[in-house]
Amino acid sequence: MHAYAANVYTSVVEELMKGKQRKFIAVEQEFFRLWWDAIATDTHKQQVHQLLQEGRLEFVIGGQVMHDEAVTLIDDQILQLTEGHGFLYETFGIRPQFSWHVDPFGASATTPTLFALAGFNAHLISRIDYDLKADMQKNKKLQFVWQGSPSLSERQEIFTHVMDQYSYCTPSQIPFSNRSGFYWNGIATFPDPPKDGVYPNMSLPVTDANTHLYAQTMVANIKERAAWFRTSDVLWPWGCDKQFFNASVQYSNMDLLLDYINKHSGEFGVTVQYATVGDYFQAVYSRNLTWEIRDSQDFLPYSTEPFQAWTGFYTSRSMLKGIARRASSLLFAGESFFTQYVQKHPAGSICKCEALKQLQSLRWAVSEVQHHDGITGTESPKVKDMYMDNLMYGMFNVKKLMASIMFDMSNAKKNGEVYSSVYVKDSGIPGATGVDQYIVVYNPLAWNITTFVTVSVGHLAMSVYDEVGHPVPAQVQSSAESHSTYDLYILVAISGLSYRKYYVKPLNSKQSAFIGRSVKYKRKDLTHADQQSQQLLPVVNNCYQVLFDQNTHLMHSITERETNQTVQLTQEFLEYHVNGDMTKGPISDNYLFAPNASAVQVSKAVGLEVVSGNLMTEIRQYFYSNVTSQDYIYALYTRMYTVPEGYDGKLLCHRIEQEYRVGPLELNREAVLRTSTNLDTRQLLYTDSNGYQIQKRPFKAYENNTVARNYYPMVQTAYIEDDITRLVLLAERAHGISSQGNGQVEVMLHRRLWNSLQWDLNYNLTLNDSSVVHPVMWLILGTKAVTNILYWTSGLALEHRPVVMFGASSEGGDKPEIHRQLQQNSVHGSHVTVPLNLHLQTLSIPGWRYSSDHAEQVRSTHMGRQKQGDADFSRVLLRIRHLYEVGEDPLLSQPVMVDLKSLLKGLGSMTVVEERSLTGTWDVNTLRRWKWKTAQHPGKGFFKSTETSGNFTVTVYPKEIRTFFVYFQNQ
C-alpha cells in the first residue's frame, strides 16, 4: 500500500483527467477501498465519480480480491464478490459486468456459473495448461461459450476469452533495447519509493528517434496475436504486476506511440485505442459470430512447462487453509445468529451497529484470504501472519458477539468471565470445582442435526443434563493429545438454526457419562510382520464393521453392514522426497509439486491404542520410524459412533471420522495419506470443484511429471468407486488429491520445502513450514445410491459443525428452579428447516446503505448523497442453493418448492421479497445479460431472467443458487 498501490490510484486518476482518450481498469476492492477511505482527497473522489460515468475507469470483477479458483469454497467466493460489489454499488451505483481472472493458477468450472449469476456478460482467464493453450491458440479456439454447470447449462453460460501465450502482460523484450519495453515507470521498489523517482529497469522514453522502432515492435506483436483469434479485434494488455505507480510517464509515452501508429495506420495496417475490458468485449459481441460451446470441464491442474505442475499449492500452508475455513464457517453461523436476534429481539440491549462492525471485520478477513496468493499458501510468511491475525481477530470478535447475544437473550447474569469457542479441544473450564459449567450449542445449518460436540474437562467422572434436567448421552475418555485433560463427547440433537443449553457437572449424582476404556497394544514392526497368521481386531457400530490387522496395526477392511459389502482397505503415511537445489533439476515450492521419485513409506513400526465406550470407539494409530524410536512421527485417530435408541443417527453412524496429526516434517518432504482398496476403479477419481459440483478426473499418462500432473484440488469432497461401491472422502480444508494406482486415493496433508531459487529467496517464498497440522476427514463407504443421499449433507455438516459457547453458573446443586429458568430461556422453538437437498447458504444482515431501486441509487450517488446514516437493519440477505445435479438421485434431484414466508416465520412476519442477482446488486427482473450466438442458439440477444412472481413461494431447480432480499414487519 505504502510503496506501490496507493500511488497507482492517485496517479492514474490524476492522469486520466488529463486526456479524454485515456482509460484504465481496476480489479480488486481491497486496495481501492483502503485508498478511498484513507488517502483519496475530495477532488480525487469527484474525479473517480466522473471517470466511472464516462466509462474511462472501469471496475472489472469488483470483488474484494481476485480469488483463487482451485482451493476456495463457493460460499467464500460469493462472500468476497458480494463484499466488493456491495461497496461499489453503495459508493458509485455501478455494477461490474466483466471479469478479468488473469492470475489464479488454473480455472474452475464453478467460476463461469458464479459470474453469470452475478450478472456478468463475459469472462476472461489466462492461466491454463501450456500445451492445451498452444493447441487452442493454433486452432483459434481461445474464445468460447462456457456452460460451467451441467444442470444449469445455457441458463448460466458465459462467453469466455482465454489470453494467448503472452498472458496478461505486455511483451517485455524489445529488439532495439536491453531494457524491457512499455514499462516506462520501471519496477516498484519496496518498502520505500526511491527519493529521486528513478526506478529500476525504466523503459526507454519514446522519442522522435525511436518512435518508429517502438511502433514496429508493438504492431508486429499485435499481428502475431491477431492470427490466434477469430475477430480482427485484438486485446493488447498494457502493464503487468506492480505497474502504474507513476502513471504520468506511462500515459505520456503511450500517448505518443498510439498517436504515431494511428497517423501511419495505412502503412501499419492497424489502428489502436485505449480500451477497457468492456470495450473489447463489446467489439467482439457486435461482430455477431457463432461460438463453440465448452461444457463443464475445468482447466485444472495447471502446468507452465513439462516439470512445472502447479499442484503443490493445493496443500501449501495447511494450517492457514484450515483456519480460513474455520473462520468462514464461524462467520456463516454468526450471521444467521445475529439476523435472528435483530428480527426477534428488536429491543435487545446489544448495539446493532457495533455488532455489524464485528461481523464486518470477519467478512473482510475471510474475503481477503480468498486471494490467489492467500489461501493458496503462496505468500511470504509476513503476509501469511497478517492473514492469520486478521482471521483470528475477526473470529474472536464474532465469538464474543455470539456469546453476548446469548446472554442478552437469556437475561443471564454475567457471573465470572464468559467466553466462547468454536469446536476446539482446548476449551471449557477444566477442573473448576463448585462451579457448574454449561455449554450452549448453536446449529448453523438449516436442518435438524444429531452429532457429537467435544469439550475438554478436568475429571473422568462427569454428567451432562439438558435444559429440563434430563440426562444427555455423553462419553468421557483420556485425551489423545493432552495428558492433563479428558475429552467429553456430548450427543446433541438440535433443530435448524437454533441452539440448546447443556449442563456439565462434576459427578455428584447418579447419572454418569460413559467412560471410554483404553487398551494399548505393543508396537508392531512392519518389516517383520507375520503374513501367515492373520489376527483381525473388529470395531463395530450400526453401519460398519472395521477390521484392523493385529500383525501390522494397520486397517484391514471395512464392511458396510446393511449390504454386507466388504472392501479391503488399508491406510499408510508416505512422503515424497523433493529436490531443493535449482542446479539439480525441477524443484517443489509453494506453487509447484515436482517429486523426484515415488512416495516412500515413512514408518517401520505402528503402535495401537483402542479406546472403546458405549457411544464411541476411537482407534489411535501411532507411526514410528522404527521399533525403538522414542517419538512417533504421525498419528491417525479414527472414530466410530454408536447412536442410542431414540436419536436419528443416520448421518452420524455412516461417518468414519479420522483426524491426522502430521508434522513437523523434515525439510523437502511432502506428506500424503494413501488409502488402498480392492475396488476396481481404473484409476478414475472424482473431486469437487469449490464444494459446488463434481469433476471427473481420469488418470493421464504424460512423458514427464505424471505424478504431479495427476494431482487435483479437493476442496470438500472426493471419491473413488467401482460398479457397486463408492468410497467418499470429505475434508474440512483444501488438499491436493490423486489416484496413483487402481483402487487408490492419496491425499497430500502437509508440505515443508526450501529451495535455492533466487526468486523464492528474494521474496521469502520458500515454504519452511515446521507446523504440526491436524486435518480431519470423514470417510463414507456404501453403494452409489446410499452415498448419494449422504455425501452433500455430510460435507456441509463437517464444514459447519456446531458452535460451542461456554458459561459458568455460580449456583451449585440440582436446584429445580435453574432447570425451569433454563427451560424458559431456551429458544429452540423457532427453528428454520429446509429439505435435505437444499442448503440455506446465507442468512445475513449485510447492512448496506444502498437503495434496491436502481434509478434512485444512481440519483443519490450522482448527487453525492451517498447515505452516510445508519446501516439498513431491515434488509435480510437470503441465499438458497440446490445441492444436487439433474439426474443424480431419483428423489433428491427434483425441483423443490419453498414457501419463504413459512420458512422464516420464526423470525417474524415477512412483508416483501425481492429476487436479486448473486451479489444482490441487480433486481433479477431488470437484469439483461448478453446472449452470445452458438450453434445451439443461433440468435444473439439478451438473457431475460425468469419473471419472479410477487408471492413468497419459489421453486429451486437442481444446482440453482437463488438470492433474495427479505423484509420483515417492524416490530
Q: Which three-class secondary structure state does DSSP give residue 635?
A: strand
Rounded Cα gap, residues 607 and 554, in angstroms: 9
Cα angle 132-134-135, degrees, rounded to a multiple of 5: 65
Digit-coded pLDDT (tens) for 618-644: 999 999 999 999 999 999 999 999 999
447 within a domain of the structure (yes/no)? no
Phi, psi torsion values for 538, nearest 5 degrees: -90, 145
Handedness of CA 40, 44, 49, 51 (dihedral sign): negative
Rounded Cα gap, residues 183 and 193, in angstroms: 16
488 - beta bridge partners?
A: 455, 476
- My answer on whether 403 and 548 are in the same domain is no
- My answer on whether 482 and 608 are in the same domain is no
How many Cα atoms within 13 Å fall on the side-chain side of residue 37? Answer: 9
pLDDT at 441: 95
406 within a domain of the structure (yes/no)? yes
The residue whose grid cell reads 482451485 is 70
Average pLDDT over residues 851-857: 94
Cβ burial 632-659 (10 Å sphere, 16+ → b, else e): bbbbbbbbbbbbeeeeebebbbbbbbbb
- My answer on whether 396 and 381 are in the same domain is yes
Digit-coded pLDDT (tens) for 650-665: 999 999 999 999 999 9
Pairwise pLDDT comparison (423 vs 911), residue with the higher score: 911
Rounded Cα gap, residues 867 and 846, in angstroms: 15
- Please choose, from the candidates 206, 185, 224, the residue with its C-alpha nearest in 3D space to the C-alpha of residue 261: 206
The answer to whether the beta carbons of residues 71 and 136 sit under 8 Å apart is no
The residue whose grid cell reads 448421518 is 651
Q: Is 553 left (phi over 0), alpha (psi -120 to 50) or beta?
A: left
Residues 6+ apart with CB under 8 A from 224: none
Residues 6+ apart with CB under 8 A from 546: 538, 539, 540, 555, 557, 558, 559, 619, 638, 640, 656
In the chain, % of residues over pLDDT 70: 93
679 within a domain of the structure (yes/no)? yes
Q: Is residue 820 scored above 50 in pLDDT? A: no
Residue 772 CA from chain centroid, whole number: 22
- My answer on whether 795 and 814 are in the same domain is no
- My answer on whether 270 and 403 are in the same domain is no
Q: Is residue 947 scored above 70 in pLDDT? A: no
Pairwise pLDDT comparison (870 vs 228), residue with the higher score: 228
Digit-coded pLDDT (tens) for 516-564: 999 999 999 988 877 777 899 999 999 999 999 999 999 999 999 999 9
pLDDT at 870: 78
Tell me how far apart the 2 most distant CA atoms of the chain are, in Å.
Answer: 98
Residues 6+ apart with CB under 8 A from 715: 70, 71, 72, 73, 688, 689, 690, 691, 731, 734
Digit-coded pLDDT (tens) for 431-441: 444 456 889 99
Give the pLDDT band of residue 408 (cuts 50, 70, 90).
confident
In the chain, % of residues over pLDDT 90: 82
- Is 103 a residue of the active site? yes
How many independent structural domains does the chain possess?
5
- Please choose, from the candidates 804, 799, 787, the residue with its C-alpha nearest in 3D space to the C-alpha of residue 881: 799
- My answer on whether 240 and 373 are in the same domain is no
Residue 834 CA from chain centroid, whole number: 23
Rounded Cα gap, residues 343 and 606, in angstroms: 55
Q: Which of 791, 813, 831 is the last residue of a domain?
A: 831
Digit-coded pLDDT (tens) for 147-171: 999 999 889 999 999 999 999 999 8
pLDDT at 417: 39
Rounded Cα gap, residues 286 and 308, in angstroms: 39
945 - beta bridge partners?
A: none
Q: Is residue 867 scored above 70 in pLDDT? A: no
Q: Which three-class secondary structure state does DSSP give residue 818?
A: helix
Rounded Cα gap, residues 104 and 371, in angstroms: 9
- My answer on whether 579 and 728 are in the same domain is yes
- My answer on whether 818 and 838 are in the same domain is no
CATH number at residue 952: 2.60.40.1360
Give the pLDDT band of residue 823 (cuts 50, 70, 90).
very low
Cβ burial 552-581 (10 Å sphere, 16+ → b, else e): bbbbbbbbbeeeeebbebbbbbbbbebbbe
Rounded Cα gap, residues 788 and 887, in angstroms: 11
The answer to whether the beta carbons of residues 766 and 417 sit under 8 Å apart is no
Q: Which three-class secondary structure state does DSSP give residue 853?
A: coil
Range of the domain at 881: 832-968
Cell of 759: 526468486
Residues 6+ apart with CB under 8 A from 701: none
- My answer on whether 664 and 776 are in the same domain is yes
pLDDT at 945: 60
pLDDT at 830: 72
Across the chain, what does the average pLDDT equal? 92
pLDDT at 816: 39
The answer to whether the beta carbons of residues 752 and 768 sit under 8 Å apart is yes
- My answer on whether 650 and 786 are in the same domain is yes
Rounded Cα gap, residues 46 and 48, in angstroms: 5
Rounded Cα gap, residues 42 and 520, in angstroms: 71
Q: Which long-range contacts (CB under 8 A, 24 or more apart) does 392-397 make?
A: 392/323, 393/361, 393/365, 394/327, 394/331, 394/358, 394/361, 394/362, 394/363, 394/364, 394/365, 394/366, 395/326, 395/327, 395/330, 395/362, 395/422, 397/358, 397/361, 397/362
Q: Is residue 418 scored above 50 in pLDDT? A: no
CATH number at residue 391: 1.20.1270.50
User: Could you give the C-alpha distances from 665 to 718, 740, 756, 785, 811, in angstroms and in order?
Assistant: 25, 22, 19, 40, 48
Pairwise pLDDT comparison (146 vs 870), residue with the higher score: 146
Do strands 122-125 and 143-146 pair parallel, antiparallel, or not at all (unpaired)?
unpaired
pLDDT at 808: 74
Q: Is residue 754 scored above 60 in pLDDT? A: yes
395 within a domain of the structure (yes/no)? yes
Rounded Cα gap, residues 246 and 12, in angstroms: 8
What spatial distance separates the first Cα and last Cα of the chain, rounded to whole Å? 45
* Other beta carbons less than 10 A from residue 434's beta carbon: 7
Digit-coded pLDDT (tens) for 38-50: 999 999 999 999 9
pLDDT at 951: 79
Q: Which of 376, 411, 446 is the last residue of a domain?
A: 411
Q: Which of 357, 387, 411 is the last residue of a domain?
A: 411
User: Could you give the C-alpha distances from 788 to 149, 393, 884, 889, 892, in angstroms and in order?
Assistant: 18, 38, 9, 7, 9
pLDDT at 423: 35
Report the run of H or E that residue 255 belongs to, with start and end.
Answer: helix 247-263
51 within a domain of the structure (yes/no)? no
Amino acid at 781: L
Q: Find the radius of gyration of the CA atoms of the chain.
A: 29
Average pLDDT over residues 319-341: 97
11 within a domain of the structure (yes/no)? no
DSSP classification of residue 892? T
Residues 6+ apart with CB under 8 A from 649: 450, 542, 641, 643
857 within a domain of the structure (yes/no)? yes
15 within a domain of the structure (yes/no)? no
Rounded Cα gap, residues 279 and 270, in angstroms: 17
Q: Is residue 819 scored above 50 in pLDDT? A: no
Give the pLDDT band of residue 946 (cuts 50, 70, 90).
low
* Other beta carbons less than 10 A from residue 751's beta carbon: 29
- My answer on whether 783 and 811 are in the same domain is no
- My answer on whether 466 and 538 are in the same domain is no
Phi, psi torsion values for 284, nearest 5 degrees: -65, -40
Active-site annotation holder among 68, 103, 298, 525: 103
Rounded Cα gap, residues 213 and 174, in angstroms: 9
Average pLDDT over residues 211-237: 97
CATH number at residue 755: 2.70.98.30
Rounded Cα gap, residues 129 and 72, in angstroms: 20
Q: Is residue 889 scored above 80 in pLDDT? A: yes
Give a three-class secondary structure readout of 642-684.
Answer: CCCCCCCCHHHHCCEEEEEEECCCCCCEEEEEEEEECCCCCCC
Rounded Cα gap, residues 224 and 120, in angstroms: 29
